[in-house]
Structure 1
């Protein structure tokens, strides 16, 4: 099962824990070797043991310095740390009885850590190195008399194998393989589940923001009704006044049209809030739907110069879109028109079971902060913008299985691509 490298904790935290564990191992081995030598419990070769512990301490110190570097810790670095532990323990075991040394079972600890925190290929690499070094210590090591098997002699000096020690190695190999196989899979499943939970938390937060916006919009729409009615009455009176008509005739007509348009928007908003229309939208010919939407947008933005191409493949296809999808697409078109009012390219086509809108503008492009904030929070690159457009667009389209992507154009500007299932 292939999964991405997702850890429940930051890799630097794993790195830090490995350093702490190694420090404990160094301290434990140093105290054990010191006591065993002082009280004559075993004739240990202290010099190579102390050299190995000293090198391990130096590696620990360098690892601590690495943590101070701001660069992120990689899976390869974690794997290298575990290799250091395995090689150091195997080197000490070589001078203290090889595979007959019970401390050699510590090699299973790096294997477990690798299985729980590293990608599959790194975990298997750690497991393989541990098994190979353990196997080599069955044959090559410096024997200790007090660790020799009963009956005298040493495993590598007798004619037959030491089945007890060989069995220990087989048990280690089997345990390492099972851990690398099953624990890697279980850890990967937990990571994927955690990633899914994080994604759902982000969606819940986004939905809470949308609910807050919707509540405010409903209240605002209700409050706008009265002043708009008053403005319509006053403008109607002014249009009838001969003196005002002479001085501001064209301006009054334009204001009257705009106020009527605002009133129509509120009426349309109330109509779209009907639950039966929201949850059971009617199926429409795809080309007709796109043409109607673009005609409506061009009425809203008559100053925008745009090249529009609607693919002929949409003639025989139908779409069933939630009412909020239309406003989301209009938001994208408005953003592109704001960025590049003199030249806009709009291409509408189909791809398998998806409707694809591609909007190209020649504006200054979006900053990196806007790309990172897409669909996650309110963001606006305009001085007087509220940051709702991109957020609401992304939320509406993603809710019905679509995607919104923004990419810089080589010649300047931004390409916004919307992909929507034909039945959204």
Structure 2
């Protein structure tokens, strides 16, 4: 069975419990010759076995069971166990403490509300068994105070077990989540270091050929100044030169530690407009509102991070024959958000689950740019959120802390 682990363990334990219950009833009745209700007990065990088979059939392919499903199974276990105990001595049965087992299982399988529900149900089951005991039995045996003490002991045990195991389970889950997050961050940092080393090496190797191309271009300008092909070469060479200068400036800032500064939202908007006009003149960036009066933390990588998102938006627009990108500012709880919406085909489910967290092999190149943008924003105490627009396209929301 490819069943949810928590539900699978519960079904295995119930199978073993049914076998033990059947053997115990037969041994007590035939070997110890105790007067027990054999037929009713066997009928309850048979119904429990049928319920077990139906549960196995129903959840045989459920890889992620809902908490309500686990609670339903635990409720059934408490119900069957309570009926069996009531038919074999009630609260005087030596195995009445087995009512604590569903609480232990719930402590490691469900949330706090489900655990509280199971504990209350088990206490109610024990209370029912105690109340249903004949009064003459308690008076004849002079065990009234003893059974009441056992009930109090059961309640205390149930509360302690639920609290201790539930707290330990929550702590372990939080620790596992922290370890998983740290492992993911370490893997991402290793990827970024690899990309950083490769980028530095490629940039260094391209510096000399670009300088030679610049010299050849200047000679061509002197010889064939009116040639349209020579004129078109000016813009890409200028962009390459600008990117190399930006990379050198960034490397120098990283060495000196002067990487972060405070800028206004208006300054960031003007910078984005200039960069958009320079790199994507064929696209129209429409601001739905003006930049608010506030300041944010920035560094040399903030603009490239936003440009990466704009580049992905431009690529999505081109695939859908669109040329408009909408930008919207919003302030919420000391967070400045910039939403960038394209009019492409939106993200697929696979892209939504992986973009920004890992490198994605893609023909369109999407994945690396969003990963780098996400890391840059996290370093500035910000975040990146990706979603699809209800009507058309995708939205990339950059959130930055207001300082």
Q: CA RMSD in A?
A: 2.5
After TM superposition, give the deviation of residue 370 of structure 1 in Å: 1.5
Q: d(CA) in 1 for partners of 2:109 and 2:97? A: 20
Describe the superposition over 1:376-399 as per-residue Cα deviations: whole angstroms up to 9, x where unpaired: 222376x44253111211222123
Q: Does 1:31 align with 2:26?
A: no
Q: d(CA) in 2 for partners of 1:94 and 1:286? A: 72
Question: Is the 2:3–2:62 Cα contact (8 Å) retained in structure 1?
Answer: no
Secondary structure of residue in 1 paired with 2:304? helix
Aligned to 1:146: none
After TM superposition, give the deviation of residue 103 of structure 1 in Å: 0.7
Q: Which runs of 5+ in 2 are unaligned?
A: none
TM-score (norm 1): 0.86
Q: Does 1:230 align with 2:212?
A: yes
Task: Give 4+ residue runs of structure 1 displaced > 6 Å after superposition.
Answer: none
Q: Does 1:119 align with 2:106?
A: no
Aligned to 1:329: 306
Secondary structure of residue in 1 paired with 2:281? coil
Q: Does 1:90 align with 2:82?
A: yes
* Change in 2 beyond 3 A, CA 1:195/1:11: farther
Question: Is the 2:328–2:338 Cα contact (8 Å) retained in structure 1?
Answer: yes
Q: d(CA) in 2 for partners of 1:38 and 1:354? A: 74
Aligned to 2:51: 59
Q: d(CA) in 2 for partners of 1:34 and 1:319? A: 76
Question: Is the 2:3–2:61 Cα contact (8 Å) retained in structure 1?
Answer: no
Aligned to 1:260: 238
* Change in 2 beyond 3 A, CA 1:57/1:312: closer
Secondary structure of residue in 2 paired with 1:122? helix
Q: How many residues align?
A: 397
Aligned to 1:128: 120
Q: d(CA) in 1 for partners of 2:94 and 2:65? A: 33
Aligned to 1:48: 40
Q: Does 1:219 align with 2:197?
A: no
**Which of 164, 170, 174 is the equivalent residue of 1:192?**
174
Aligned to 1:404: 384
Q: d(CA) in 2 for partners of 1:378 and 1:50? A: 59
After TM superposition, give the deviation of residue 101 of structure 1 in Å: 0.5
* Change in 2 beyond 3 A, CA 1:319/1:302: same
* Change in 2 beyond 3 A, CA 1:112/1:308: same
Aligned to 1:391: 371
Aligned to 1:5: none
Q: d(CA) in 2 for partners of 1:231 and 1:396? A: 32
Q: Does 1:281 align with 2:260?
A: yes
Secondary structure of residue in 2 paired with 1:306? strand
Secondary structure of residue in 2 paired with 1:117? coil
Q: d(CA) in 1 for partners of 2:359 and 2:234? A: 33
Q: d(CA) in 2 for partners of 1:122 and 1:222? A: 60
Secondary structure of residue in 1 paired with 2:137? coil
TM-score (norm 2): 0.90
Q: d(CA) in 2 for partners of 1:80 and 1:163? A: 34
Q: d(CA) in 2 for partners of 1:142 and 1:173? A: 21
Q: Does 1:298 align with 2:281?
A: no
Aligned to 1:18: 10
Q: Does 1:164 align with 2:146?
A: yes
* Change in 2 beyond 3 A, CA 1:257/1:137: closer
Secondary structure of residue in 2 paired with 1:319? strand
More displaced, 386-395 or 53-62?
A: 386-395
Secondary structure of residue in 1 paired with 2:95? helix
After TM superposition, give the deviation of residue 299 of structure 1 in Å: 1.1
After TM superposition, give the deviation of residue 255 of structure 1 in Å: 0.9
Q: d(CA) in 1 for partners of 2:291 and 2:71? A: 55
**Which of 287, 312, 332 is the equivalent residue of 1:308?**
287
Aligned to 2:130: 138
* Change in 2 beyond 3 A, CA 1:388/1:35: same
Question: Is the 2:4–2:62 Cα contact (8 Å) retained in structure 1?
Answer: no
Q: Which runs of 5+ in 1 are unaligned?
A: 1-9, 144-152
